[in-house]
């Protein structure tokens, strides 16, 4: 059963603590992405990676960190430096193809993070 | 800077009616425009997409209309059903031509409710 899994589904964190969100895919996709979703703001890109051991900052990378040690895994750490971390976090993946075709992004079910 | 503006924020229609969601973009480098559908507690899924060299694309009850000169595009849902109740996001990317990475810029989202 191919797809993207995110864990946990719900996560609670105290202020000042770092927390890591898991994202795993078995679609054999090279590219992976992390988005943050807030009501009325759509999805905003945090980080993305096109290949193992390489990743790039998205539009709102401050206060977040990632690693890409394996093709199938792209964990996101929300650090204590993120001022407003309560949000719904979505992981996605896609192939990395040649130009001339849209490489559809497939999304996981998301993790809802709440800072207490 | 918000590069894709989506309206309305919420929409209520009766079963059998037509739902219309509008998006406008600023970046003329965008060359592919997907729409995503998201049910509560789930990740978004690709619904339908269009390239700017066509003015309309239809898939079943879903139609995208595209106006390149006005830099606007819209989603029409014909014969709307309660099962269509979801959040809809328009998006845009410049990853279609020549590049292998399709970075998505999302609109703010529209919450559609279809009453039976």
Q: Residue A76: its pLDDT value, please?
A: 97
Among A40-49, B47-56, B98-107, whose mean pLDDT is lowest?
B98-107
Q: What is the pLDDT of residue B1?
A: 47
Asked if the Cβ–Cβ distance from A102 to B34 is below 8 Å, we say yes
The predicted structure's pLDDT at residue B74: 98
User: Which residue of chain B comes nearest to A3, CA vs CA?
Assistant: B43
pLDDT digits (tens, 9 = 90+) for A49-100: 989 999 999 999 999 999 999 999 999 999 988 889 999 999 999 887 665 6
pLDDT tens, position by position, B81-93: 999 999 999 999 8
Q: Round to whole Å and give the CA distance between B38 and A6.
A: 16
Nearest to A50 among B6, B89, B101 (CB): B101
Which member of B41, B96, B109 has the closest CB to residue A102? B96
Tokens representing A66? Answer: 């990632």
Alpha-carbon radius of gyration of chain B: 14
Interchain proximity B89–A100, CB inside 8 Å: no
Q: Residue B100: pLDDT band by 50, 70, 90 thresholds?
A: very low
SS3 content of chain A, % helix, strand, coil (to 5): 0, 50, 50
Q: A93: which chain B residues are within 8 Å (Cβ-Cβ)?
A: none
CA–CA separation, B97 vs B89, rounded Å?
22
Distance (Å, rounded) from C-alpha B36 to C-alpha A65?
26
Chain B positions touching A4 (Cβ under 8 A) are: 43
**Rounded distance, CA A48 to CA A103, Å?**
14
Mean pLDDT, range B39-60, rounded to an integer: 92
pLDDT in tens, A1-17: 569 999 999 999 998 89
End-to-end distance of chain B based on CA atoms, in angstroms? Answer: 38
């Amino acid at each position: 059963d191919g797809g993207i899994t995110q864990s946990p589904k719900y996560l609670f964190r105290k202020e000042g603590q770092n927390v890591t969100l898991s994202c795993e895919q078995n679609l054999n996709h090279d590219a992976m992405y992390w988005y943050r979703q807030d009501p009325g703001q759509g999805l905003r890109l945090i980080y993305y990676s096109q290949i193992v051991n390489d990743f790039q900052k998205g539009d709102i990378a401050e206060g977040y960190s990632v690693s890409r040690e394996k093709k199938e895994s792209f964990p996101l750490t929300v650090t204590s430096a993120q001022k407003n971390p309560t949000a719904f976090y979505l992981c996605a993946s896609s192939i990395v193809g040649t130009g001339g075709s849209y490489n559809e992004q497939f999304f996981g079910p998301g993790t809802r993070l709440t800072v207490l | 800077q918000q590069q894709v503006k989506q309206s309305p924020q919420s929409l209520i229609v009766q079963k059998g009616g037509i739902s219309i969601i509008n998006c406008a973009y600023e970046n003329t480098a965008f060359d592919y425009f997907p729409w995503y559908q998201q049910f509560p507690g789930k990740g978004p899924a690709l619904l339908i997409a269009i390239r700017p060299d066509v003015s309309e694309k239809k898939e079943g009850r879903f139609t995208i209309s595209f106006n390149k000169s006005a830099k606007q595009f819209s989603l029409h849902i014909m014969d709307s059903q309660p099962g269509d109740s979801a959040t809809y996001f328009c998006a845009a990317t410049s990853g279609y031509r020549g590049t292998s990475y399709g970075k998505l810029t999302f609109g703010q989202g529209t919450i559609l409710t279809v009453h039976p």
